[in-house]
Amino acid sequence: MSYTLYVGNKNYSSWSLRGWLAVKLTGVPFREVKIQLRGTFNPDNRSFSPSALVPALHDGDVLVWDSLAIAEYLAERHRGLWPDDPVARAWARSIAAEMHAGFAALRNEMTMCIRERVDVRPWSPGLVADIARVEEIWNETRRRFGKGGPYLAGAFSLADAFFAPVAFRFRTYGVTPSGAAADYLAALLAHPFVTLWEAEALAETEVIDADEPRVMYRDKLAQRG
pLDDT in tens, 105-162: 999 999 999 999 999 999 999 999 999 999 999 999 999 999 999 999 999 999 999 9
Residue 213 lies in a domain: no
The pLDDT confidence band at residue 225, using thresholds 50, 70 and 90, is: low
CATH number for 116: 1.20.1050
Domain end call among 18, 45, 75 = 75
H or E stretch at 162: helix 158-173
At residue 132, the 3 state secondary structure works out as helix
Residues 51 and 115 both lie in one domain: no
Q: Is the pLDDT of residue 1 over 80?
A: no
> Contact at 8 Å (CB) between 16 and 8?
yes
User: Which range of residues forms the domain containing residue 32?
Assistant: 3-75
CB burial of 186-210 (b: ≥16 within 10 Å; e: otherwise) equals: ebbeebebbeebbeebeeeeeebee
Q: Are residues 39 and 61 in the same domain?
A: yes
For residue 210, the number of C-alpha atoms closer than 13 Å in the C-beta half-sphere is 8
Q: Is 81 part of any domain? A: no
Specify whether 192 is located in the same domain as 107.
yes
Mark which of 75, 103, 133 sits at the end of a domain: 75
Taking each helix axis as running N to C, give the angle between helix 192-202 and helix 158-173, from 0 to 180 degrees, rounded to the nearest 10.
50
With residue 57 as reference, give the H or E element that holds it. strand 56-59
pLDDT at 41: 81
pTM recorded for the entire structure: 0.96
Residues 37 and 61 in one domain: yes
- What percent of the chain has pLDDT above 70? 99
Report yes or no on 216 lying in a domain: no
